[in-house]
Chain A
């Protein structure tokens, strides 16, 4: 019994090393003075030189700004749509077209990105021909494309959260005469709020990171941050990309840590409330 535990634990540690060594190496080398990414220039390191290079690169700043705007819009719209779809799938029982909706919300998650990108571009071209909109490709087409695949992820997050709650609270509110919309706003939404926030963050990250779909539906002159990184990286390793990676990893890591702590805090408080309520009933 013990030996098997040892094997899987060793595998876990090695697996985590495998997952984190590349990220750590980028962080370390972002402070390296040398242009050669892999040679550590001990005499002049650590240095913030590449962070300076990064922030004076107008192309990177413009692209980051575009990515930020697209990601905020795409995350917001896809969270609304995904919450609707997740609620319908988890709470409406069997309805006509349910399996179609299930299919359309799971398929985008696994669909190879080249196919999603190509099909969306062809849609926009066809629309432009037919109704004259959208006029050319740019921020709008990128946002529309991102909403579609982000909402699939949000739907899954919301649906599995709702599946974890039974419907007794909602049914009690209904029996007391609350209208469906009120039940949703006062009961369902507060219950799934952590999932809604998690869904928004997930959608934001997916949109912020997307390269392939954006490449298809972005017009000339509208490059998102991953597109700029990709064109830099294809030409070879560049040290300022390490600096960018370090910044992005720090933001994400601190965000995830704070979110986890907050959720745990909420969970603890809820458990304590339940215990107090139980004690009060005795």
Chain B
């Protein structure tokens, strides 16, 4: 049955057409249009098939992440609850003398916010920019349940002299619009001074840039270590007879199937000062009882545990690529006079690179976001940026700053991905 939507019909016509005129289908339509239409139907059907998955990913993954990232530039804690102040800041450009009207707006807004029990939100928002001011709002709120008599400026300064502080007013101005870049400033150890100019925070408060740097360096190191350890295993797996390589494969996968927490705590049992490794070293007489090594609750602990946990993510892509490498290439190289080292370096190794690329990308991206392992075995020097994000999510509840830190981390990973794509090409990536 010839059908306009049937691509086979077009091919039949094409085969029998003798003239070079535009190809048409049996019913006279141009071939390209018929083809496009039939493909459109197929595409639509394919789209309908993936639609449930797409909707699921959008609702459970993309939307929440987008919403969370939105918090990093949007915080209406002040602007939504201090409407008169927001209006005053909008009407008066920076540098305007704070006059009586401004203080009246302030007193009335604080009074209303205290009555609506939103004063804490207002104070928390300003406290992010000027630490130590949250109680200024909440305690003034308690005193301003009854509005004071004018002049308001005098009344506010009597409640607390801090109300006439320049830095506070800069912070209030910047918070009077919901959209702000201050959380990103804070996430790179920067703040605004009295004039609103960006400056670095005091030396003893700088922490995030250092943690970002440490996270990236440790992740690179861990990626390198998994490669060094994983390459021989993957090679062995790929070259052993199937029966033995299957057994070895189970040994690689077994820890993979074990709970992350179990593997992490197992390392604590092994590496702690009264742990198995130290006990054996003392028993062998390598070290004295008083010189037990500190191998956990520091960076060493983080590196060892994370390398072990992430190792399968390097071994599996390498293995799947090595399986496909034809051994006759190396044999050919050897028969042409290459030493085994040269044959490995110039013939075998380059062919494993797609597997290395996939493994390295997987391990690195997983490592920069690792949280629970460094928290448990990292002590103080083995903490990563994700641990600080967790502190702001669950402890200080400064979700805007947590979102800004997470967004920077995400941007860093995407940038690296882009560089990888430019240098290696993402098409060369082989996951299996």
A and B co-occur in one complex: no
Q: Which residues of A contact B (CB under 8 A)?
A: none
